[in-house]
Structure 1
Amino acid sequence: MPIQSVSLASESLVYSYSKSFNGFAAKLTKAESEKLSGHESVVSVFPNRLRQLHTTRSWDFIGFPQNVTRTTVESDVIIGMLDSGIWPESQSFNDSGKIIGARFYHAGEDFKNGEIPSPRDSEGHGTHTASTAAGNTVTPASLLGLASGTARGGVPSARIAVYKICWEDGCSDADILAAFDDAIADGVDIISLSVGGWPQDYFEDSIAIGAFHSMKNGILTSNSAGSLNKTLVQGKIVVCNGVNQGTEQVRVGAAGSTMIPPPKTVNLREVAYPFPLPVSILTHADGVDLLEYINSTRYPDLTAPGVDILAAWSEATTITGQNGDTRIVPFNIISGTSMSCPHASAAAAYVKSFHPTWSPAAIKSALMTTARQLSVEDNSDAEFAYGSGQIDPIKAVNPGLVYDAGEIDYVRMLCGQGYNLTQLRLVTGDQSTVCSGTTRTVGDLNYPSFALSYDKPTSITRLFRRTVTNVGPAPTTYKVFIDVPEELEIRVEPEVLFFNETGEKQSFVVIVTAALETSMLSGSFILSNGIHLVRSPVVAFVSGQEDI
């Protein structure tokens, strides 16, 4: 290659990912990117999209008190926080060895006014999420006297590794992948990422790519399902399940909001609400009809606290971050799935401290199958709305059974989605990867939840294969218990599972028949030995997409 070409290539290169997976970010013309995408050794070429941050007594609220049983191993657990940085002077991090490393990434050309070219947090978001996950116990803590009490992280003895990827404009794919590359190489135990964007193909999704390689290295990635996206909702009417103050809608530039109250709500015509933007409040029945019309088809794995969370805040910004606000505070109260994510990350770290050798899939299974089922009265969409349920870290330490999975299981899932062998071998780095001989579908990923979909209301039947591992005492016997509405039928074969040893695996099939006359049906089944309740949600919905 001529010296001039080498020089031009060097100038175009933004990042080279080589520590944990192979790839690079570069400034390319459309013609160059198209030519590169056709190369036999390239899996995918995609633009550097910007993703958005998903923006205390919450631990007590989920039954996880301050005096919960802990292991000494907790202090060895490292949570990698991929966010907007951290404010290290906060009392929540005032512990020798709490923050064990900090990096920052900026693929953009220039820093904007107010942005700090270091791992320091100029927005507050990263400080808030880090302290929620692993902040020290701080008393007293409040926001200008509000919510006065003790602020603490879920795993206060755990360590924090900081990877600042988010700036005023958002969080770029190039920076996200660079942070994943470093975090994996650094050997973190959990990656917490309160960041997201519109769903992309797996091989064009920086978070999916990073999470896959994290999984290969035994690292669980905890990612929030999503809050309001400024770009998508600006100037739009936002539909909210529940009645809230409207502050989040104002923050992201919504033109107004339609709110759906829970059932058995008092007569709202007799209540005055001071909203900062135009709002219409429907009856619960009309709201259910509206949600069915909208027909959302994304549902979470787990639910965790995310409303009015008090946690540490950066003193490089104000309470609101808006012009004219001069209030600097050490703690702030904010809401969103961003706040839910570090709760789930801390719960995963807590389970990891008791079971250091468990795989990411086993830890996730433990959290999902022991989660608390939420009230149908307050959640009319049931499992479709809250997934497996609300996290219960204490129960997750002793789940009884786990649905385990490793790299080969995820490769088979990708095979079932039609990805070709060349792509898969490049992603895995293993030339022996094969798809032939497998007739399994995407729905056969050994996952603790079940979903089936169709493009129009009809009666459908699907079969799913699963394997569970006994992580409790043996011998033991598990029986099946089913909880479904009339329109949904679940059969589990065999109905009884016998385990003679700890670590023993047993396989079974789940046959689901759904009479889809509405847009969504949900239920669950439980495997129980009289001590452990291993619960899995089952959802059927109209979407036009393949089974999940």
Structure 2
Amino acid sequence: MEAIHTHRNNHKANSMARKIPNVFWLLILVFSCIILIGNTKASDGDAREAYIVYMGDLPKGDFSSPSLHTSMLQQVLGSNAPESLLYSYKKSFNGFVAMLTEEEKLRIAGMDGVVSVFSNERKQLHTTRSWDFIGFSQQVQRATIESDIVIGVFDTGIWPESDSFKDEGFGPPPSKWKGICQTASNFTCNNKIIGARFYRTDGLFKEDDLRSPRDTNGHGTHCASTAAGGLVAMASLYGFGKGTARGGVPGARIAVYKICWSDGCHDADILAAFDDAIADGVDIVSFSVGGTSINTFEPHNMYPMIYAGNAPNTTGNFTGLSSRFCSRNSLDANLVRGKIVLCDSLTNGRPPLVAGAAGVVMQDTSFQDYAFSFPLPATHVGVNDGSSISEYVNLTSNPTATIFKSYEANETLAPFVASFSSRGPNRITKDVLKPDLTAPGVDILAAWSLVSPVTRVKEDRRRVPYNIISGTSMSCPHASAVAAYIKSFNPSWSPAAIKSAMMTTAFPLSVATSPEAEFAYGAGHINPLKAVNPGLVYDSESIDYIKFLCGQGYSTKSLQLVSGDNSTCSGVINGTVWDLNLPSFALSTMSLKSFSQTFKRTITNVGLPSSTYKATVTAPQALKINVEPSVLTFTSLGQKLSFVVKVEGTIGRTVVSASLVWDDGTHRVRSPIVVYASS
């Protein structure tokens, strides 16, 4: 099945953005897909836990961060300070990780120079027809410097022996590369995987953890090969998705930063990896962590069928009310062994497998556009089909069934945003549109770790070199690869310019298949070939964000902590959120109340030296949109021209969509305009 495409935007990620330097977030804005979940906070107020102390940007000049951080801790902990300090960030920002009680955390938070103190939260992990689907064939033009681009993959590590990471034809790493290869557990790098590190700041490795950059999960290998894997012919998962597996930038190098373990991915390790990646010379960071079915088994026989609610494990004090959901240990093995079990919810298939079932049918209202993989013959059906199956099982004296192997088909409605993808709006800064854009994310075939089961269920004995999985994590390396592709042709472009190119060249999706409109798909579906030559870009510099922060009410002290210099809001024309130079326009308002809002933007010519662009606005009757000037004439590359967009009207519906296109006859530079009724 062709991939249904998805990109998640999780709201809690925005709260973390307030804790980390805004300029730092600008650097990784396009490439990170982060969902924050979980908390390791101890219930005992006197117990120590790892806290991250953020102190803004690095000071200018000579600076010894470990000495400063130890000194600060000594003021609170005395002689215990050195053993409390777990990590001192030296390259990306000023901050450290320390074991603190709640009281000690509060004392540290009150010190001069401390912006915020937050818990070391734990994230969870959330690939090849997708490139052809988005018009990015094997024959696309490649830049000569693609092999100088280094993609840093923050994930579960990598399986270096995979055919996707062979280094035939690669020369030595680019001269800018300063990283290392931690070669524990027989792990070696090559001229494709040029660097590898692993992190566990708290030192609390679990039994299943391999202290090495080697991937024992599969997720990191999958993401790395999606972004930059080489060409591998006849790759498939038991015949599904058979074809040439390849990454978006197969000529790029890979640097591995293993920050995820059997119990998740911790903030302190993630930030340490960023610290190293910046110093190592990474160009793009691919960060794929966060907070219907494929049956690969061939049918053999017809099997008896039983309803899970009629097979409770009574010795374990389970009743039919719980066993019907096929929860852990809830099934009586004597009753389900050798039978196909009908369950009333979606599980990973492990409980029926452990109980000896021959197969499982799961009826559920959840994700019907997500192809799960299970460790035994299985199928996932909706409630209507489930009701019919349930009626058959309960009203037939000897019900039997078989589960056929899945088959491939094209989803004619694709691309659309998957049901499980998170939606906007942005709850922190309401007038910044999120998500930015969409990328392939469902049923993606890519490389896999040979020590990780197909389904990640330990009782599943099957091992495969390529696997099919879905999620935001699969969207992220697609976006990372496209960003790297753009940078290989435009090495001097800023992250903001690359993001703009990706957004303004995306092709719009249909509200018919994604009714949440831009709050589901942002600017649209990623289009790599057009993104490399967008014509115009909406660029941003540090001063733009300083003006924005001043407009948001930052004090001089807070501003300097973030900027790391002597920036001040005095004498600076405060910027509003509507003037931040983004390639999208968003306005929150009240339903049935008239509004009028002006947006200021500046665009940079990266297309033809002499060109004239005309503005075209597409909008519903509820909106009156005026662009001034409506014609922009450029006379040189790199020239910047400004314009103003005025949006007026009254809306009754929740979301009203419009768009602005700058067209010179060759390039169409499109920006979404969204007005919505905010609660």
TM-score, normalised to structure 2, is 0.66
Q: Take 1:187 and 1:329, find their aligned partners in 2: how far apart are those partners?
A: 33
Superposition deviation, residue 6 in structure 1: 5.9
Aligned to 1:48: 120
Q: Take 1:367 and 1:307, find their aligned partners in 2: how far apart are those partners?
A: 20
- 8 Å CA contact 2:346–2:380 kept in 1: the answer is no
Aligned to 2:83: 11
Amino acid at match of 2:483: A
Instruction: Assess, with a 3 A threshold, how the Cα gap between structure 1 residues 247 and 167 changes in structure 2: closer, same or farther.
Output: farther
Match of 1:144 among 217, 231, 238: 238
Tell me, yes or no, if structure 1 residue 59 matches structure 2 residue 131. yes
Match of 2:109 among 28, 37, 49: 37
Match of 2:197 among 100, 103, 112: 103
Tell me, yes or no, if structure 1 residue 348 matches structure 2 residue 420. no
Aligned to 2:527: 392
Provide Cα deviations, 1:5-47, integer angstroms capped at 9, x if missing partner: 5641111111100122211011111111111111121111111
Aligned to 2:276: 182
Could you list the runs of 5+ residues in structure 2 that have no partner in the other structure? 1-70, 168-189, 292-326, 328-342, 351-361, 370-377, 387-418, 427-433
Amino acid at match of 1:445: L
The residue correspondences of 1:396-415 to structure 2 (distance < 5 A) are 396-415=531-550
Instruction: Assess, with a 3 A threshold, how the Cα gap between structure 1 residues 258 and 195 changes in structure 2: closer, same or farther.
Output: closer
Aligned to 2:632: 497
Q: Take 2:649 and 2:448, find their aligned partners in 1: how far apart are those partners?
A: 47
Instruction: Assess, with a 3 A threshold, how the Cα gap between structure 1 residues 105 and 433 changes in structure 2: closer, same or farther.
Output: farther
Q: Take 1:118 and 1:98, find their aligned partners in 2: how far apart are those partners?
A: 18
Aligned to 1:69: 141
- 8 Å CA contact 2:436–2:503 kept in 1: the answer is yes
Q: Take 1:247 and 1:17, find their aligned partners in 2: how far apart are those partners?
A: 49
- 8 Å CA contact 2:364–2:381 kept in 1: the answer is no
Q: Take 2:627 and 2:570, find their aligned partners in 1: how far apart are those partners?
A: 27
Q: Take 2:542 and 2:424, find their aligned partners in 1: how far apart are those partners?
A: 30
Q: How many percent identity over aligned positions?
A: 57
Aligned to 1:438: 573
Aligned to 1:329: 464
Superposition deviation, residue 328 in structure 1: 0.6
- 8 Å CA contact 1:452–1:541 kept in 2: the answer is yes
Aligned to 1:194: 288
Provide Cα deviations, 1:171-221, integer angstroms capped at 9, x if missing partner: 111111111111111111111111235xxxxxxxxxxxxxxxxxxxxxxxx
Q: Take 1:49 and 1:55, find their aligned partners in 2: how far apart are those partners?
A: 28
Tell me, yes or no, if structure 1 residue 127 matches structure 2 residue 221. yes
Aligned to 1:170: 264
Superposition deviation, residue 251 in structure 1: 5.0
Instruction: Assess, with a 3 A threshold, how the Cα gap between structure 1 residues 493 and 330 changes in structure 2: closer, same or farther.
Output: same
The residue correspondences of 1:230-379 to structure 2 (distance < 5 A) are 250-251=347-348, 256-257=364-365, 274-275=379-380, 296-298=424-426, 299-379=434-514
Instruction: Assess, with a 3 A threshold, how the Cα gap between structure 1 residues 196 and 8 changes in structure 2: closer, same or farther.
Output: same
- 8 Å CA contact 1:132–1:343 kept in 2: the answer is yes
Aligned to 2:165: 93
Root mean square deviation of aligned Cα: 2.9
Q: Secondary structure at the match of 1:367?
A: helix
- 8 Å CA contact 1:256–1:279 kept in 2: the answer is no
Q: Take 1:377 and 1:4, find their aligned partners in 2: how far apart are those partners?
A: 59
Amino acid at match of 1:534: V
Instruction: Assess, with a 3 A threshold, how the Cα gap between structure 1 residues 401 and 3 changes in structure 2: closer, same or farther.
Output: closer
Q: How many aligned positions are there?
A: 475
- 8 Å CA contact 1:488–1:522 kept in 2: the answer is no
- 8 Å CA contact 2:76–2:104 kept in 1: the answer is no
TM-score, normalised to structure 1, is 0.81
Q: Secondary structure at the match of 1:147?
A: strand
Q: Secondary structure at the match of 1:157?
A: coil
Amino acid at match of 1:115: D
Provide Cα deviations, 1:254-303, integer angstroms capped at 9, x if missing partner: 99535799xxxxxxxxxxx952686899xxxxxxxxx9xx9952431111
Amino acid at match of 1:136: G
Q: Secondary structure at the match of 1:194?
A: strand
Instruction: Assess, with a 3 A threshold, how the Cα gap between structure 1 residues 523 and 92 changes in structure 2: closer, same or farther.
Output: same
Moved more, 178-187 or 44-53: 44-53
Match of 1:463 among 598, 602, 606: 598
Provide Cα deviations, 1:303-361, integer angstroms capped at 9, x if missing partner: 11111000001112101111321111100000111101100000000000001111111
Superposition deviation, residue 455 in structure 1: 5.6
Instruction: Assess, with a 3 A threshold, how the Cα gap between structure 1 residues 255 and 354 changes in structure 2: closer, same or farther.
Output: same
Amino acid at match of 1:70: R
Q: Secondary structure at the match of 2:80?
A: helix
- 8 Å CA contact 1:479–1:528 kept in 2: the answer is yes
Q: Take 1:381 and 1:63, find their aligned partners in 2: how far apart are those partners?
A: 25
- 8 Å CA contact 2:363–2:380 kept in 1: the answer is no
Amino acid at match of 1:17: Y
Provide Cα deviations, 1:120-169, integer angstroms capped at 9, x if missing partner: 11211111000000001001200112111100000000001111111222
Match of 1:78 among 134, 142, 150: 150
Superposition deviation, residue 438 in structure 1: 2.2
Q: Secondary structure at the match of 1:115?
A: coil
- 8 Å CA contact 2:500–2:582 kept in 1: the answer is yes
Q: Take 2:106 and 2:670, find their aligned partners in 1: how far apart are those partners?
A: 47
Amino acid at match of 1:192: S
Aligned to 2:100: 28
Q: Secondary structure at the match of 1:46?
A: strand
Q: Take 2:155 and 2:223, find their aligned partners in 1: how far apart are those partners?
A: 8
Q: Take 1:107 and 1:8, find their aligned partners in 2: how far apart are those partners?
A: 18
- 8 Å CA contact 2:89–2:96 kept in 1: the answer is yes
Q: Take 1:435 and 1:346, find their aligned partners in 2: how far apart are those partners?
A: 41
Q: Secondary structure at the match of 1:539?
A: strand
Amino acid at match of 1:324: E
Q: Take 2:509 and 2:165, find their aligned partners in 1: how far apart are those partners?
A: 33
- 8 Å CA contact 1:297–1:543 kept in 2: the answer is no
**Which is greater in Rg?**
2
Superposition deviation, residue 463 in structure 1: 1.2
